[in-house]
Chains A and B, each alone.
Chain A
Amino acid sequence: MASLKELRNRIASVQATQKITRAMQMVAASKLRRAQEAAEAARPYADRMGAVLGNLASGITDAESAPKLLAGTGSDKRHLLIVATAERGLCGGFNSSIARLAREDAKKLISDGKQVEILCVGRKGYDVLKRYFTTELREPISYQGLKSIGYDQAQEVAERVLSDFDADGFDICTLYYSRFQNVISQIPTGAQIIPASFDAAEAPELGGAAYDYEPEENEILDALLPRNIAVQILRALLENAASEQGARMSAMDNATRNAGEMIDSLSITYNRSRQAQITKELIEIISGAEAL
């Protein structure tokens, strides 16, 4: 049985932890709102870009002349996995669930005899994956200390990926991130970004008129496809940011509740043993007095 002093110390320490987790939960809640707004604000651009490209891509019937970013290199041997995770921990299963999905897919690809390379964006995913992979891992990209993710960062990642693609470094590129559904559920997702795929069904109603292009259709497609990569990456990073805060918020909410339960049960133990000790002392005094 722990002594009264030990119990007191433990209660104090759990209370201190609870204060921290509660503060982290509130900070995550306010950051979540901002991250969610940013993710929503980025949606119109990505949606329109997707619609325009889908429209253009459906018009291209000749696979020979189509850009490689759209049609692929004609092989599926070499894969690049981009794994986007957070820079910080303490957000429940957020980082590990993305890393797990990427790891399972990578293992599957490797056992199918494909060549796999992994590029981590965010420190935490790299920390997890480096336990399983060595030669496959690229130098990670980290935005530690950066307050918010913007288009500049997405473009930086995209440029790295694209220059590698132009140098014929890989055939297929898949992006792993966590889709933000709501505060309690974030879904780890893998989305293929190279070669790109679009829904041709999004084509708008033209009222019978034919589209005019300036410059030529193919030139527009060539200019837009690399941009689309950056937009896709930006969207993934922003969804990730919102998911991270959501995951942290619910993880910290749980931690605060657990700490509360622990304090309750420790307090009961503390009060009982204090009572027991007082009773014991009283009995000793009384029996001592009786003996006289």
Chain B
Amino acid sequence: MADKLKFDLVSPERLVLSADVDAVQVPGAEGDFGVLPKHAPFMAMLRAGTLSVENDGKTQHFELDGGFVDVTPEGVTVLAESIGE
């Protein structure tokens, strides 16, 4: 069993998604990047774009209107103002 990444997607009004996932693709302000488990601590601004969450071969997409991502050894937290699926 491969390592999983703890992923939280939060909007100001609610916690949209909180799950253990395989990988996350994030639209960073200075270029898209992917996060896998055991990523180094990292903080970045996001631009408007699509966030993809991969888990067990399935991919889920979220439309973001800019935001912020915080990567820690424990997991990934995405804070975004408006989130559409």
Establish whether residues B45 and A48, one from each chain, have CB atoms under 8 Å apart when the complex forms: no
- Residues of chain B within 8 A of A231, CB atoms compared: 12
* A93 at interface, CB cutoff 8 A: no
* Option from A49, A204, A219, A223 in Cβ contact (under 8 Å) with B72: A204
- Residues of B with C-beta under 8 A to A201: none
Number of interface residues of B (CB under 8 A): 24
**Does chain B have a CB within 8 A of A52?**
yes
- Complex formed: what's the CA distance from A176 to B15 in Å? 26
Q: Which residues of B sit under 8 angstroms from A223, Cβ to Cβ?
A: 45, 68
Given A38-B13, A41-B15, A48-B77, A206 contacting B30 (CB threshold 8 A): no
Ranked 4 nearest A-B pairs via Cβ? A41-B14, A214-B44, A151-B12, A212-B42
| Chain B residues in 8 Å Cβ range of A214 | 28-30, 42-45
Task: Verify A44–B41 contact, CB threshold 8 A.
Answer: no
What is the interface residue range for chain A against chain B?
A: 20 to 34
Please state if A212 and B79 are interface contacts (CB–CB under 8 Å): no
A44-B10, A48-B10, A206-B73 as given contacts; A211 in contact with B41, CB under 8 Å:
yes
Contacts from A to B (Cβ < 8 Å) = 38, 41-42, 44-46, 48-49, 52, 56, 150-151, 154, 204-207, 209-215, 219-220, 223-224, 227, 230-231, 234
Residues of A within 8 A of B77 (CB): 48, 52
Partner of A45, one of B11, B43, B72: B11
User: What are the residues of chain B within 8 A of A211 when measuring CB–CB?
Assistant: 41-43
The closest CB in chain A to the CB of B12 belongs to A151
Q: Are B43 and A206 in contact (CB under 8 A)?
A: no
Can you name the residue of chain B whose Cβ is closest to the Cβ of A219?
B45
B81 in contact (CB, < 8 A): yes
Q: How far is the CA of A151 from the CA of B10 in the complex (A)?
A: 13
Interface residue from B8, B10, B43 paired with A213 (Cβ < 8 Å) = B43
Residue on A with the closest CB to B31? Answer: A214
Q: Determine the chain A residues whose CB is within 8 A of the CB of B81 once the complex forms.
A: 151, 227
Asked if B2 is an interface residue, CB under 8 A from chain A, the answer is no
A224 and B68 form a contact (CB under 8 A): yes
Given A44-B10, A48-B10, A151-B81, do A215 and B72 touch, yes or no (CB 8 Å)? no
**Which residues of B sit under 8 angstroms from A48, Cβ to Cβ?**
8, 10, 70, 77, 79
Give residues 1-44 of B contacting A (CB, 8 Å).
Answer: 8, 10-15, 28-30, 40-44
Minimum Cβ distance to chain B for residue A251 (Å): 28
Q: Given the known A-B contacts A48-B70, A52-B70, are A210 and B12 also in contact in the complex, defined by CB atoms under 8 Å?
A: no
Judging by beta carbons under 8 Å apart, are B30 and A49 in contact? Answer: no
